[in-house]
Amino acid sequence: MKLIRVKSVAKKEIIQILRDPRSLIMALIIPLLMIILYGYCLSLDVDNLTTVVWDQDRQEFSREYLDCFRYSRYFNVKYYVSSYKELTHLMDNATCTVAIVVPPDFTRDIKNLNEAEVQVIIDGSDTNTASAAQGYVNAITMLFNLKLAEKNLNLKRVYRGAILNNKIRVLYNEELESRNFIVPGLIAVVIMVLAAQLSSLTVSREWDRGTMEQLIVTPLTARELITGKLLPYVIIGFIDAILAIAGGAIIFKVPIKGSFFEALGYVFIFVVGVMSWGIMLSVIAKNQLLALQMAIVSSFLPAIVLSGFMFPIYCMPALIQYITYLVPARYLIIVIKGIFLKGIGIKVLWPQLLLLLAYAIVIYNNACLQFKKKLT
C-alpha cells in the first residue's frame, strides 16, 4: 500500500464532500441536536402532574389536605371544578392526569375521629405516570395522617390509627397494562418515521438519476407533479397504518373502545401530512442522502422524544413544550389513545382533527410552492 495513492483518494473524497456542504452540515449538526434533545427531554422523573380538584367540603381540613398537593413539586393543581361532568371532560381531553374529589363531610369526619375517604382518579393511559402518581398520593396521605396523629396527641385525644384513606380509581387502563400505553403511541411513531423516510426520496431520486429534466419539459404543473408523487405513498402509508392498528388490536389485545373507522380517518389525514413533509424535504434537498438525513432528523427524533410517546411533555422545559406543538405525532398519539382506551370521538378530539388538517394543508401547499420547474 502506497501512501501517495491513499492521499490522492482521500483528497478526492474531501473535495467530493465539500461539494455538498449541506450533507456535511447535517452530519455535524445531528450529534449536537441529539445531545440537546435527549439531554433536555429524556427524564425518568415524574413530577408536575396536572391535577384537578373538586373540593365539596371547603373547610379547614380539606384546605389543609389539598395544600399538601399544591405545595408539592409532584402535582400542579391547575383546575377546580364543581361536578363530575367537568372533571370527566378534563380527563377525556388529556388535560389533566390526576383528579382529587373531597367529600362534603370530610372535615366533620376528621374532627369526630371517624374515617374520612378521598377519591383519587388517575389517567391510566400512561402506565408509568399512573403508577408513580399512586405512590405520590399515598405518600401525601400518609404524611397528612401523621400530622393528624400529632394534633390529636397534642390535644390529648385518643388516636385510633389512620383517619384518612384514599379510594384510588384508575381510568382507561384499569389493569395498568404497559402494552395499552406503548402500542397506541408506537403506531403513531412508526407511521411518522416510515412515511417521512419513504417519501423523502421521491423528487431527489429524479435529480440523482438525471430524469428530472424530462419531467421539467413536460406540461405538468408543480402541483400536478407533487400530487402524482404523493398519492402512491399515501396509499402505501395508509395500508401500513391499517396493518399497524390491526396488529395492535389483534396481536397485543389493545382494546378499541371507540370507532375504528374514525381512527382511520385521523390516521389518513396524518399520513397525508407526513408524506407531504417528506416530499417537501426531497424538493429542498435535491439529493437522496441529504433528504434522507433531513427526514430522519425531522421525523425519528421528534416522534420518539417530542411527541409524548416515551417521555411526558409536562416534564420538559417550557421552551421544548412549545416546540412539541409542531410535531404532528403528538396529536395522533392523543387521538389513538383517546379512541382506543377512552372510547371518545370527534366531540372531544376535534382540536386534534383541526390541527392535523392544518398541518397537512400547509405542508402540502408548501411542497408545491418549493418545487420550481427549472434547472438550478
* The pLDDT of residue 362 is above 90: yes
Q: What was the pLDDT predicted at 268?
A: 92
Q: What is the pLDDT of residues 228-240, one digit of tens each?
A: 888 888 888 888 8
CB-CB contact of 314 with 48 (8 Å): yes
- Coil, strand or helix: which one is 166? strand
pTM of the model: 0.75
DSSP per-residue string spanning 104-139:
TTHHHHHHTT--EEEEEEEETTSHHHHHHHHHHHHH
CATH class of the region 49-171: alpha beta
The alpha helices in 177-259, defined as continuous H runs, are: 178-199, 202-209, 212-216, 222-250
Could you tell me the three cell numbers for 273? 401530512
- Coil, strand or helix: which one is 100? strand
pLDDT over 70 for what percent of the chain? 83
* The pLDDT of residue 304 is above 60: yes
Instruction: Kindly tell me the burial class for residue 53, based on how many C-beta atoms sit within 10 Å of its own C-beta (0-12, 13-18, 19 or more).
Output: buried
Average pLDDT over residues 323-340: 88
Domain boundaries along the sequence of the chain? 49-171, 177-370
The 3-state secondary structure of 297-327 reads HHHHHHHHHHCCCCCCHHHCCHHHHHHHHHC
Could you tell me the three cell numbers for 200? 423523502
pLDDT confidence band for 323 (50 / 70 / 90):
confident
Half-sphere exposure for 246 (CA within 13 Å, toward CB):
6
